[in-house]
Amino acid sequence: MFAKKSSKYLKKDSLIQPTYGSRIMRGEIPKYQIASEGLPPSVAYNIIHDELALDGNSRLNLATFVTTWMEPEARQLMMDTFDKNMIDKDEYPQTAEIEMRCVNILSRLWNSPEGEEAVGCSTIGSSEAAMLAGMALKRNWKKRREAAGRPVDKLNFVMGRNVQVCWEKFCNYWEVEPRFVMAEGDSFSLRPEDAVKLCDENTIGVLAIMGSTFDGSYEPVKQLDDALNHLAAESGLDIPIHVDAASGGFIAPFLQPDLEWDFRVPRVKSINVSGHKYGLVYPGVGWAIWRDKKELPEELIFHCYYLGGDLPNFALNFSRPGNQVIAQYYNFLRLGREGYTAIQETCRDIALFLSANIEEMGPFELISRGDTIPVFAWKLKDEIAASTNYTLFDLAERLRYNGWLVPAYRMPENRKDIIVQRVVVKEGFSHDMAGALLGDIKKHIQWFSKHPGFTKTIDAKQFSH
């Protein structure tokens, strides 16, 4: 969110100055108010293009989970379809058909059982999908409670403290009490036995994450299902699971096909994924899928009669680009199971290679290796952290000198004393680049030891996604 600049700002600092490095660009242009006259397209293009060169290099951005490379044909197809509004299903029936095919492909990839009719939709990302899935859980709970003549004024949602911020947003915006399984010792995510202890008649659902943002780990969905079955047998509470598979939804089907985390697990009622993470599409596309249409309350779907057609719509927004959905379908066609498997395996191999080499360097201890999703995190060994003159915040800072964006952050509440650094390996990050990163990490560690006068950053920099 950005605030309006005060008018004293509208002086020198607010102007793009003359002497911009171009022959045809000599005048000043206001930054924070609209200019009285426009510019030739090439000049406007160059000004913005060159200013954006000051951003980080997305290919060296090992912080983001989001796709930073697509092949030229995919880019072309996206450019060809920039003008398609996803909501105009009546005008662009083929785009709508493609969205529906993607929903079918995903529900089958996640082992939707024969005899159940999975339903779903595209979204702008996992966060929107999380809101939709959370709303469905909330409404289903409310209907069950009303039918039983029970109060509906207090409700809660159970999850690990390692959730991505979208779930805290969901609880805040929809006034649901978040109940957290806290980090304990070396356990940074949801433990089914502790999750069950937090459940009561007001619990709308329990969340399990496939690919924790903190360290890439998978939460034990099957064991959670078992624990909830046990609770149901003991107490009669029948509590559904939602799986946040923002990253893992496009990894587990290819790298761990036998792991039961999806619709094979009976209590899993809905799953979200980010198409723009390991679905390999540029931002922003996500997906929400329900195992059966009875899990998605009909009254949440708006039937909007617009431009001559019935548009059944379950979304937080209305207009949205259609080209990311088209790009998702391109990837399904282009790659197939074989292609996705090959790419994800390569990313995992590079993650394993990198994590093993980082472990071997000496000062570091791995929190995870990259054998779930190709994401891993490490910390300084306790004895090194106590005696050395740098923290991982300092290492992250120095790696920026080489263009690498490798974030350092604190683990979830209760274990915020642990500072970790994380790498997300994505398509486009090669073995060669991994070798260069290792070389730079070694170089900076040596720099710290050669500069004993350097003092470590103690501050509590906040976790950033």
Ligand X SMILES: Cc1ncc(COP(=O)(O)O)c(C=O)c1O
Q: By the criterion CB under 6 A, which residues form the site for ligand X?
A: 65, 125-127, 164, 166, 209, 211, 213, 244, 246-247, 274, 286, 465
Nearer to ligand X, 248 or 363 (CB): 248
Nearer to ligand X, 103 or 385 (CB): 103
Q: Please, what is the minimum distance in Å from the beta carbon of residue 115 to ligand X?
A: 30
Nearer to ligand X, 164 or 344 (CB): 164
Q: How far apart are CA 245 and CA 224, in angstroms?
A: 15
What is the length of the chain?
465
Q: Please, what is the minimum distance in Å from the beta carbon of residue 412 to ligand X?
A: 13
Q: How far apart are CA 412 and CA 189, in angstroms?
A: 9
Distances (CA, A) of 341 to 47, 70, 217, 279, 346: 41, 16, 19, 12, 8
HSE-up of 454 (CA within 13 Å, CB side)? 19
Q: What is the largest CA-CA distance in the chain?
A: 79
In the structure encoding, which two tokens stand for residue 44, read together?
Answer: 């406007």
Q: Please, what is the minimum distance in Å from the beta carbon of residue 421 to ligand X?
A: 16
Q: Please, what is the minimum distance in Å from the beta carbon of residue 417 to ligand X?
A: 23
Gap between the terminal Cα atoms of the chain? 17
Nearer to ligand X, 156 or 274 (CB): 274
Nearer to ligand X, 127 or 140 (CB): 127
Q: Please, what is the minimum distance in Å from the beta carbon of residue 127 to ligand X?
A: 3
Nearer to ligand X, 140 or 274 (CB): 274
User: Nearest CA to 182 among 162, 152, 156?
Assistant: 162
Nearer to ligand X, 398 or 415 (CB): 415
Q: Please, what is the minimum distance in Å from the beta carbon of residue 283 to ligand X?
A: 8
**Contact yes or no for 126/244 (Cβ under 8 A):** yes
**Contact yes or no for 89/96 (Cβ under 8 A):** yes
User: Nearest CA to 190 among 154, 242, 234, 231?
Assistant: 242
Q: In sequence order, what E strands does 233-362 have? A: 241-244, 268-274, 286-290, 302-306, 309-313
Nearer to ligand X, 196 or 208 (CB): 208
Q: Please, what is the minimum distance in Å from the beta carbon of residue 347 to ligand X?
A: 16
What letters, b where the CB count within 10 A reaches 16 and e where it falls short, cover 79-94? eebeebebbbbeebee
Q: How far apart are CA 404 and CA 382, in angstroms?
A: 25
Nearer to ligand X, 221 or 380 (CB): 221
**Contact yes or no for 302/314 (Cβ under 8 A):** yes
If you write DSSP's letter for every residue of 389-458 in order, what string do you get?
S--HHHHHHHHHHTT-B--EEEPSTT-TT-EEEEEE--TT--HHHHHHHHHHHHHHHHHHHH-TT-----
Q: Please, what is the minimum distance in Å from the beta carbon of residue 102 to ligand X?
A: 16
Q: Please, what is the minimum distance in Å from the beta carbon of residue 230 to ligand X?
A: 26
Backbone angles phi, psi at 95, to 5 degrees: -65, -40
Using Cβ positions, the residue closest to ligand X within the complex turns out to be: 125
